Amino acid sequence: MPKISAPTVAEHRAQRLRTLLEAARVLVAEQGPDALTLSALATQVGLSRPSLYEYFRSRDDLVAAMVEDELPRWIAELDAEVQRHSAAADRIAAFVRAQLRMLTDGRHTALVVLAGHALGPAAQERVMAEHSRLFAPLVTALTDLGVDQPELRAHLIQGIVNAASPLLGADELANRRVIDAATTQVLHGIPDITR
C-alpha cells in the first residue's frame, strides 16, 4: 500500500493535487508556458511520470485543471470588487479596472499566460465553461443599464481588457494610463471624435 501523508487517501490525493497545481503555476510564472510539461512537473515535485498520470492524462488536462482551480478565485475577487459599487456604470468600470489590476499583481500570471495557449478541444471546452462565469457581474450591470445585447457587449468589453493586458508591465504609471484608457474606452468610446 502506498504511503500517504494525510489521514485518508482522499485527503492525501487532494493535498497532492494542490501541490501539483501550485508547482505548475510556479513553473509557468518562472519559465513560461512552453516549460509546462508533465515531465518537467514530475521532476519539479519529485514524482514519477506514471504517478503524475494518476492526476493528469495530458498537458491539456493539466492546463484545464489549473484554470479550473484558479478561475473561481479570480471570479470571486472580481465579483467582490464589482459588487462594492452600486451604480451600474461604476460596476462596469470596476470590472475593467479590477481585471487589469489583477493582471499586474503577479498572482494571476500563470492563468493569463495559459489562457492564450493552444489547447485541444476537450480542454478548451472545460476552460470556456469556467470562463463564461467571469461575465456574470458585467452582464448584470449592462442589463441594469438597459444596454442592448448585454452578453455580446460583455464579450466586447472583455476584448478591450484582453487587448490592454499585453500593454501592462512593471511601470506602475504606464499601467495606470493603460487601465484608465481601457476604462474610458469601455464607458465612453473615443470621446474626441466629431461626426
CATH code of 1-56, in short, is 1.10.10.60
Say what the pLDDT of residue 1 is.
42
Grid coordinates representing 61?
Answer: 488536462
Task: Name the phi and psi angles at 16, rounded to 5.
Answer: -65, -45
Q: Write out the DSSP string of 43-64.
A: HHHT--HHHHTTT-SSHHHHHH
**Residue found under cell 479550473:** 68
Say what the pLDDT of residue 133 is.
79
Identity of the residue numbered 71? L
Prediction pTM value:
0.76
Say what the pLDDT of residue 44 is.
93
Neighbours of 22 (CB within 10 A): 14
Task: In the chain, count H helices and then E strands.
Answer: 10, 0
**Residue found under cell 493535498:** 15
What are the residues whose beta carbons fall under 8 Å from the beta carbon of 179, sequence distance 6 or more?
96, 97, 100, 101, 164
What helix, strand, coil percent values describe the chain, rounded to 5?
75, 0, 25
- Return per-residue pLDDT of the chain as tens, 195 residues: 456 666 777 787 889 999 999 999 888 878 878 888 999 999 999 999 898 999 999 988 898 888 888 888 888 999 999 999 999 999 999 999 999 998 887 666 666 666 666 677 777 777 777 777 788 889 999 999 999 999 999 999 999 998 998 898 889 999 999 999 999 999 998 766 665
| Residue boundaries of the structural domains of the chain | 1-56, 64-188
CA distances from 181 to 106, 175, 187, 190 (A): 21, 10, 10, 10
d(CA 133, CA 175): 26
* The CATH number of domain 64-188 is 1.10.760.10: no
Identity of the residue numbered 7? P
